[in-house]
Chain A
Amino acid sequence: MKEKRKNKVLMSGNEAMGLGAFTAGCRFYAGYPITPQNELTAYMASCMRLPGRTFVQAESELAAINMVFGASAAGFRTMTSSSSPGISLKQEGISYLAGAQLPAVIINVSRGGPGLGNIASSQSDYFQSTRGGGHGDYFTPVLSPWSVEEAFNLVILAFDMADFYRTPILVLADAIIGQMMEPINLNRKPLIRNRKPKRWSLTGAKNRPPNIVKSFFLQEGLLEEHNLLLEKKWQKIKLREQRSSIYGKKKVDCLIVAYGSQARIARQAVDVLSCQGIKAGLFRPITLWPYPDKALKKAASLARKIVVVEQSLGQMVEDVKLALPNKEINFLGKTGGGIPSSLEIVKFVKKLTKN
């Protein structure tokens, strides 16, 4: 027992994501300073200066994502991180990564917007994250942690998925997840998968025909063909990668749907409601794309009321509506760095379940 406790480490979400990347075998990291993810870049600056790893403080987010493009084309595990305005800048690069089928991990520790917004926690990048984000017909799988330990684990998973599907993976954390500190358990050695040699990568054309990494298909019909190939990949991901978790009773008066730090707050609300005799549950998507609609349908079938809570004016709520077309969907949200508190959620649910 004592031995185990020894391996519990207290760290911030930002640092845990850095450690996750390091553990997953990230070989190249490039980033540009922006709050609230600076601890992550600083963490990478220390651990990625070890032999065989590379850290670059890029001149901009544009440069960072394109350096990642290069490192990935060269066949290496690679990552960049930023926060909302910087992620907007990276979108062209993410679109190129998706088009050229290059694996990479991108972390967004999101903050308030639009514009320079503020540096408070916000979930207003949901649309951007789950609808492609850049130009063109593509999707980026999105993983959303609700704890420091899960942040660590999801970054490792992101690297595995990126290599398996040959596509960029987004980890969408918010400022609270990035900055809060929690103990994480380093006892279990994480499984690192999908580390096969990348035959498509650029190594120099030695004893093989040249490899070309590109997303450009000018001739008539070729891009359509390529995009349909990508579409098969999106469908496969939709089928296999939906992830979610449930907290509370199965048969409930009210099912709360929330993700990231907001799900942590909603969990507290569920506990308070149960104490007050109202049966409540929490459905938490872990993948935001693909949206876990199958699991949500199942969970919602035994719920009288549905409440979606977000740190935004209502973005994920649209996916809930798509998943549950025959249900009435109630929404509680705050924008610009506002965070719906557990008491506000309790009040909202009580008013709703009274009727």
Chain B
Amino acid sequence: MNKKYNRPESLRDSDTHYCPGCGHGIIHHLVAKAVDELKIRQKVIGIAPVGCAVVAYDYWNFDVCEASHGRALAVATGIKRCRPKNIVFTYQGDGDLASIGAAETLHAANRGENVTCIFINNACYGMTGGQMAPTTIIGQKTATTPSGRDPFAGDGWPLKLSEILSTLKGVCFAVRTSVSNPRQVHQAYDYIKKAFCSQIDKKGFSLVEVLSPCPTIWQKTPVEAMQWIETEMIKEFPLGVIKE
């Protein structure tokens, strides 16, 4: 019998450091699978963020660059402008992309940099112990919003960066997806592939936002975390194509 699901060549055979039920591992896998499927492993250059996915290079089996917190898209700009034939993508958390790196994100998108951005929205800062992120939903308890995010107490509203970016001419592709059920996982995979394809076709900035479970910070079981995405997060962050 043939094995149907193999480890992609673009994924290293290593133990994970992610928490049980974390979405990062699934999304790493999807990226690796898309890279294999498009046969771009030998020319892809990934940019790892500062956040839980800081050591993404321990998992991907292709060239990867570090970036300081929030600046992945500036680093991507430098790489892609020098090596336009390579496929360049960033992989960033919501704190990295939408808070400290908001300016770099907005301007890379506005310049229409021909790169792909994989945006992991887990509604919190995972790495630093669960503080409020720009994407934390209203009422969500975090280390810095102990009684729940309250926009009227000065915490601000959940930031819908993908929608904001989709208004920019430089952005050719913007979608939001999740990994909360198998159907969505397949959808996420298709979107990631599409985003890479739009880069191959030199169309401009492509963005895939993925709602991703963080059971540890959310203080939920892995199953509850997946359910919370579907019952709560999706209300704030509707799935689908935002711009194509």
B82 adjacent to A76 (CB under 8 Å): yes
Contact of B143 with A by CB under 8 A: no
B107 adjacent to A96 (CB under 8 Å): no
Contact of B62 with A by CB under 8 A: yes
- Least CB distance, A329 to chain B, in whole angstroms: 39
Contact of B77 with A by CB under 8 A: yes
B45 proximity list for chain A (CB < 8 A): 74, 202, 204
B79 adjacent to A63 (CB under 8 Å): no
Of the candidates A63, A100, A212, A213, the one whose C-beta lies within 8 Å of that of B74 is A63
Would you give the 0/1 interface string for A173-206, flagging 1 where the beta carbon is closer than 8 Å to chain B?
0000000000000000000000000000011111
A67 adjacent to B66 (CB under 8 Å): no
* Stretch in B53-61, B154-162, B169-177, B190-198 touching the partner: B53-61
Contact of B65 with A by CB under 8 A: yes
Q: Of all chain A residues, which has the CB nearest B72?
A: A66
B60 proximity list for chain A (CB < 8 A): 210
Of the candidates B66, B75, B78, the one whose C-beta lies within 8 Å of that of A216 is B66
- Least CB distance, A281 to chain B, in whole angstroms: 45
A67 adjacent to B77 (CB under 8 Å): yes
Contact of A7 with B by CB under 8 A: no
Known: A66-B78, A70-B78, A74-B78. A210 touches B63 (CB 8 A): yes
Q: What CA separation (Å) do A78 and B75 show in the bound complex? A: 13
Q: What CA separation (Å) do A70 and B74 show in the bound complex? A: 7
Q: What CA separation (Å) do A72 and B41 show in the bound complex? A: 21
A66 adjacent to B57 (CB under 8 Å): no
Known: A67-B75, A205-B41. A27 touches B65 (CB 8 A): no
A69 adjacent to B86 (CB under 8 Å): no
Known: A202-B45, A206-B42. A30 touches B78 (CB 8 A): yes
Contact of B239 with A by CB under 8 A: no
A203 proximity list for chain B (CB < 8 A): 63, 83, 86
A213 proximity list for chain B (CB < 8 A): 64-66
- Least CB distance, A92 to chain B, in whole angstroms: 6
A62 proximity list for chain B (CB < 8 A): 71, 74, 103-104
B107 adjacent to A71 (CB under 8 Å): no
Residue with the highest number of chain B CB atoms closer than 10 Å, among A71, A74, A96, A214: A74
* Stretch in A53-61, A123-131, A149-157, A332-340 touching the partner: A53-61
- Least CB distance, B102 to chain A, in whole angstroms: 10
A63 adjacent to B103 (CB under 8 Å): yes
B66 adjacent to A206 (CB under 8 Å): no
Contact of A28 with B by CB under 8 A: yes
Interface residues of B in 32-60 (CB under 8 A from A): 41-45, 47-48, 54-55, 57, 60
Q: What CA separation (Å) do A83 and B106 show in the bound complex? A: 25
Would you give the 0/1 interface string for A322-353, flagging 1 where the beta carbon is closer than 8 Å to chain B?
00000000000000000000000000000000
A66 proximity list for chain B (CB < 8 A): 67-68, 71, 74-75, 78, 104
B78 proximity list for chain A (CB < 8 A): 28, 30, 66-74, 78
Interface residues of B in 77-94 (CB under 8 A from A): 77-83, 86
A56 adjacent to B77 (CB under 8 Å): yes
Contact of A215 with B by CB under 8 A: yes
Contact of A211 with B by CB under 8 A: yes
A28 proximity list for chain B (CB < 8 A): 78, 81-82
A211 adjacent to B63 (CB under 8 Å): yes
Contact of A93 with B by CB under 8 A: yes
Top 8 A-B pairs, shortest CB-CB distance: A70-B78, A66-B74, A204-B43, A70-B75, A66-B71, A71-B78, A67-B78, A59-B107
Residues of A within 8 A of B (CB): 27-28, 30, 54, 56, 58-60, 62-64, 66-76, 78, 92-93, 96, 100, 202-207, 210-216, 218
What are 28 A-B pairs at a CB distance below 8 A?
A28-B78, A28-B82, A30-B78, A59-B103, A64-B74, A66-B75, A67-B75, A67-B77, A69-B71, A69-B74, A70-B47, A70-B65, A70-B74, A70-B79, A71-B81, A71-B82, A72-B78, A74-B45, A74-B83, A75-B82, A92-B68, A96-B66, A100-B66, A202-B86, A203-B83, A204-B43, A205-B62, A210-B60
